Amino acid sequence: MKKVFIARTSCISPQESFRTNGFFSSWKAAQAETDQLHAIEPDYKGIITDAGKRRRMAHLIKMGVSTSLDCLTLPDGNLLIPDAIMSATAMGGLEDTEKFLRCIIDNGEDLLNPSNFIQSTGNTFGGQTGLLLGHHGYNVTYAHGGYSMESALTDAMLQLTSGDIKDALVTGADEITATEYEVMRKMGFWRGGRQMGEGSSSFLLTTEKEGSVCELAAVSLLHETTPKQIANSIEELANSNQLKATDIDLVLTGCDCDKAAEKEISDRFPVTDYKQWCGQYGTKSGFGLWIGTQLLSRGIAPKGNQWEQKQLKNIAIYSEYRQNDYTLMLLKMAQIN
């Protein structure tokens, strides 16, 4: 069975992550004073060049399309056309959905703007990416809470390992909307330091080791959810990839609610919380995966509240979404055979 490597990445997040070293040039502490971490948006003009199309795109679509195109842009400026495009979004075009819904109700089902309806479907940024690339290959979008990103990655890995495709673009994106924030606020969700986040992360997955950043060795959805079982499953994941628990140099964690599981993991593994930088959203594990790829490719590691020069070899990414969806991913340095 073929191995899967990550060849290229791109990320828009609440940090300086898009086409910049900003985030890794110094340690950025969590921004504790706010409960919303909004993405730092690039100047979209240079990425989505058609002004008309750009103007019509909602925030989520701009983010998703931008990291997708950026991820495929080769050093010579040409675009790589992948065999397949897999997208992931927990909430889809929530902003357009809400606009259209309010329009239906407030205007008594009259004076409707079809562009809100068109952009409300979950597959809009995946479809738009295909459209802008003129890509006729496989194109699909997963929308299942905290499993969305992992489902898209699993689909890509299944097709890559079987040899059906040689490369795939996988993008996960979600946006902050006022209503979702407000609904969660009324439930008391943002108390205790929780922060809502947003962003888009893209990865070019390939079976070519040459020139890749690292190996994506495993992606798994966990159905056992006691703290001990979750921590055990990290060890099991290591074992099933010919590693010992002690070979896991770092677990990047993104926990929404389950403090007990987080504690159990941190008792048994070196951990760094990735969620502090991106906030909570359904596809935040894409940001965690992006951090993992950057640490391996830049040869840096977290040390206390600093980055240090240190080449890690194996990084696990653990994510939990609203105490419902638990996932694990495993990254290995590509040079290790």
- For residue 273, the cross-strand partners are 253
Q: Exactly one of 42, 64, 82, 126 binds other proteins (CB under 8 A); which one?
A: 126
Count of positions on this chain that bind other proteins (CB under 8 A): 60
Q: Which of 54, 144, 209, 313 binds other proteins (CB under 8 A)?
A: 144
Retrieve residue 159's tokens: 């097709």
DSSP H helical ranges for 137-202: 148-161, 178-186
Q: Which is nearer to other proteins, 262 or 325 (CB)?
A: 325
Tokens of 122: 């979950």
**203 token code pair:** 């990865």
Which of 271, 305, 304 has its CA nearest to residue 288? 271
CB of 93 or CB of 302, closer to other proteins = 93
Minimum gap (Å) between residue 132 Cβ and other proteins:
9
Return d(Cα 333, Cα 5) in angstroms, integer. Answer: 10
> What contacts 293, CB < 8 A, 6 or more positions away?
6, 9, 203, 213, 214, 331
Of residues 79, 118, 245, 257, which one binds other proteins by CB under 8 A? 118
Stretch that binds other proteins, among 89-97, 226-234, 295-303, 312-320 (CB under 8 A): 89-97
**Burial of 9 from C-beta contacts in 10 A (0-12 / 13-18 / 19+):** buried
Q: Which of residues 9-48 bind other proteins (CB under 8 A)?
A: none
Q: Which stretch binds other proteins (CB under 8 A): 14-22, 104-112, 197-205, 266-274?
A: 104-112
Q: Beta 314-321 vs 271-273: how paired, if at all?
A: unpaired
Q: Which of 66, 67, 139, 293 binds other proteins (CB under 8 A)?
A: 139
Residue 112 binds other proteins (CB under 8 A): yes
Strands 196-197, 271-273: pairing kind: unpaired
Q: How far is the CB of 185 from other proteins (least distance, A)?
A: 10
39, 143, 230, 296: which one contacts other proteins (CB under 8 A)? 143
Comparison of 92 and 199: residue with beta carbon closer to other proteins: 92
Q: Which is nearer to other proteins, 14 or 130 (CB)?
A: 130
- Cβ contact 17:298 at 8 Å: no
- The CA distance from 69 to 64, in Å, is 9
Residue 114 as a binder of other proteins (CB under 8 A): the answer is yes
Helix, strand, or coil here: 286?
helix
Nearer to other proteins, 85 or 213 (CB): 85
**Which of 67, 141, 283, 327: binder of other proteins (CB under 8 A)?**
141
* Under 8 Å between Cβ of 15 and 274: no
Based on the shown chain and the rule CB under 8 A, indicate whether residue 113 belongs to the binding site for other proteins. Answer: yes
What angle in degrees, to the nearest 10, is found between the helix axes of 94-106 and 59-72?
160
Interface ranges with other proteins (CB under 8 A): 85, 90-92, 97, 100-102, 104-106, 108-110, 112-114, 117-118, 120-124, 126-128, 130-131, 133-145, 147-148, 151, 154-155, 158-159, 161-162, 179-180, 183, 186-187, 221, 223, 282, 324
